[in-house]
Structure 1
Amino acid sequence: MKIAIANDVPMAAEALRRVVASTTEHQVLWIARTGLEAVQLCAANRPDLILMDLNMPELDGVEATRLIMEQSPCAILVVTGQPQYNVNQVFRALGAGALDVTATPVLQGGAGGDAQLLAKIHTIDKLIRHSGGNQAMQPKGVNGQPPVPAAIHTLVAIGASTGGPAAVAAMLAGWTAPPDCAIVVVQHIDQHFADNFAKWLGEQLAMPVRVIADGDDLQPGTVLIAKSNDHLTLDQNGRLGYDAAPRDYAYRPSVDVFFHCVAQHWRGAAIGVLLTGMGRDGAEGLLAMRRAGHATVAQDQASSAVYGMPRAAAELDAAQLVLPLDRIGALLRSTTGAKP
């Protein structure tokens, strides 16, 4: 991959350059010292991936990401010092179109940081090269159709990737789900940042938000967030869990895996929503939900940060409706009976 670096701190930029140069499959295309320079260089010589810092002169990483995704879109990985202390900026960058976030490795003695960064780069490389996607394996389950858990009649299953945090927050803002409705969000995000995502999202919404532990039951009136790099599953009893298989699937946690579980096991009403994201994850699962008789919706191109996953769903005729983000929120409220 051709990789660019946007970082105004010379030691940090050199540390990133050395990590990239340590591999044979990647090369550094250019290094920008300001956010504005990154936007300009990307327009002139677009890389496969940009390692984007958050705090830079002229334009910060959030605004640089937004402009690049508007003008010269490419994959962006936020690489910044102590991202856990910059939660708001991180999620603004993810909302603007960044794929993921990781900490900046140090110049000396940073083997652990180097490995983590290279793992992120490898995953993004895989997503870029295989954006057609591998069909997700359906998780194993027990046959039979047990009744829906008494307290919950409607399940809203949401899948999102690039630009997803901001899209989920905007879609669910301003209303509270009724007590017979559960909401599950599968967002492509590293497990180490899932708790921060839940906390951030909870600050945006009127509903309670929490991460999912293995073995949890669906919770009425609550937004539940997948928090593992393993895939989120739902069994015939409405119980949530995690499964490492399929291990070679680039999208983790996979929207497809969870949507297939809903199609296979959920016997109440369900609404599948596929939001902005790179690649094709979720399209096959949304189609399975539609074939199982559930309502299915995909975000439209104009309101998507990256029109990859929703486009794939539209091409498969998996989505009954393709709508802008604000209309999806209105549809959920009217369908579930939720009050604004």
Structure 2
Amino acid sequence: MKLAIVNDSPMAVESLRRIVGDAPGYRLAWVAFDGAEAIEKCHQERPDIVLMDLIMPGMDGVATTRRIVPEFGCAVLIVTASVDRHTGKVFEAMGAGALDAVNTPVLGAGGDAGGDVLLLHKIDTIATLLQDRNAATVDAPRQPASPPLRGDRTAPLIAIGASTGGPAALARLLGGLPAHPAVAIAIVQHVDEQFCASFTHWLDQQSPVPVRMARAGERPQAGEVVVCGREHHLVLTPAGCFDYVREPTTTAYRPSVDVFFHSLANNHDNHGVGVLLTGMGRDGAAGLKAMRARGWLTLAQDRHSCAVYGMPKAARELDAADKILPLEEIGTTLLQWAEDPLGAARTRRKSG
């Protein structure tokens, strides 16, 4: 698998070069010292994975990622001096299509690079996702549908799944909602567990609706957004509460959108809207189809507005979506449900 390095620091480049050079199964295709050079070299030889710095003169890592991902289809891993100091830019880059982020390994006195294990783990994970992107979706184990809850109905729910390009899309959708929506909102975004807290905090700053991490044992509550906050799968239990589970272990992504969507199809009595946004692979498509079969309104993002048209494409192929819409029109639909879910449901039944 071919890797490329985009970094203006000679020391960082040397550190990355040594790590990549010693890793079996990878070949360093080229090195670029700024974004413009990286785009030029992508035209000459397209790498599978780009190790992208964030802070560079001229075209920075965010702008370069925004060009490279849709134009060349490369996977981008942000490798920067301090992820914690640049949280906003990290999620801006993820919104532009980057898959993950990690601190730049530092060369020690003996020439060893500290942090190389984590970097290689993230590269290996992305390589696996690239190999699995066209694999068939793994269905989650089906829990028997529970009877509707009496006297304590779960709040109407908007459930959203996203991956590559998701942070920016989510920020736009949540930014268009009222501060006190009449629905609960739950999100599964493919993001490394170490970034869950900072991602949730960043998304909270973009949204008029309070955003926090989902907690096991609580019910969906109208007027707030919860985000899957662990590497385990988020599910809704037959009792109508959120929980985190380890199984299934065979999914390419942890957390899995499919696992969450299947649990909603089986266990949520009040239905609502399922949304599948931009992302690589097929995660969420089968779960969205299960939601549609149970009476949910299901939406998938269209090709033109996606950073990566993978997951919504899979939903289209499975006929899992009632509607395939640009991100702006998805936002309009969610606004209608957020303001008046009962009215939106009645309108849908009449038009259906």
Normalising by structure 2, we get a TM-score of 0.91
Partner of 1:124: 126
Deviation for aligned residue 1:173: 1.1
Structure 1 residues 82 and 149: CA distance shift in structure 2, 3 A: farther
2:306 corresponding residue in structure 1: 304
Query: SS at 1:206's partner residue?
Result: coil
SS in 1 for 2:107: coil
Q: Structure 2 vs 1, CA of residues 313 and 22 (structure 1 numbering), >3 Å: closer, same or farther? A: same
Query: How do 1:62-81 and structure 2 match up within 5 A?
Result: 62-81=62-81
The code of the aligned residue for 1:242 comes to Y
Structure 1 221/112 Cα, relative in aligned 2: closer, same or farther at 3 Å?
Answer: farther
Q: Does 1:32 align with 2:46?
A: no
What is the total number of aligned residue pairs between the two structures?
339
Deviations 1:133-188 (A, max 9, x none): 35334257465324178374311110000000000111121322655411001000
Residue 288 of structure 1: which of 283, 287, 290 is its match? 290
Q: Residues of 2 paired with 1:55 and 1:89: CA distance?
A: 9
CA RMSD of aligned residues (A): 1.9
User: In the alignment, which residue of structure 2 is the partner of 1:95?
Assistant: 95
Q: Which moved more, 1:242-251 or 1:217-226?
A: 242-251
Percent same amino acid at aligned positions?
A: 48
1:266-288 per-residue CA deviation (whole Å, 9 max, x = no partner) reads 11122110000011111011011
> Residue 240 of structure 1: CA displacement?
1.1
Deviation per residue, 1:244-294 (Å, 9 max, x gap): 222232212110010000011111122110000011111011011111111
The offset of 1:38, in angstroms, is 1.0
2: CA distance between counterparts of 1:154 and 1:290? Answer: 15
Change (3 A) 1:143 1:276: closer
CA contact (8 A) 1:127 1:279 kept: yes
Q: Which runs of 5+ in 2 are unaligned?
A: 342-352
Does the 8 Å CA contact 1:154/1:336 hold for their aligned counterparts? no
User: Counterpart in 2 of 1:185?
Assistant: 187
Q: CA deviation at 1:313?
A: 0.3
Cα separation, partners in 2 of 1:216 and 1:105, compared to 1, 3 Å? farther
Q: Which moved more, 1:12-21 or 1:255-264?
A: 12-21
Residues 88-143 of structure 1: CA distance to partner in whole angstroms, max 9, x if unpaired? Answer: 11111111111111111112287662111111111111111111235334257465
Secondary structure, in 3 states, of the residue corresponding to 2:30? strand
How much has 1:7 moved relative to structure 2? Answer: 0.8
Could you report, residue by residue, the CA deviation over 1:202-248 in whole angstroms, capped at 9, with x for unpaired residues? Answer: 11111000012333332221110111111111101221111122223
Q: Kindly indicate whether the alpha-carbon contact (under 8 Å) linking 1:148 and 1:238 is maintained by their aligned counterparts in 2.
A: no
Code of the residue aligned with 2:18 in structure 1: it is R
User: SS at the partner of 1:136?
Assistant: coil
TM-score (norm 1): 0.94
Change (3 A) 1:125 1:149: farther
> Per-residue displacement from partner, 1:182-201 (whole Å, max 9, x unpaired)?
10010000011111111111
Alpha-carbon offset, residue 52 of structure 1? 0.3
Name 1:252's counterpart in structure 2: 254
Q: Secondary structure at the match of 2:106?
A: coil
Q: Residues 112 and 291 of structure 1: is their aligned pair in 2 closer, same or farther, counting only changes over 3 Å?
A: farther
Q: 1:143 to 1:302 in 2, by over 3 A?
A: closer
CA contact (8 A) 2:142 2:262 kept: no
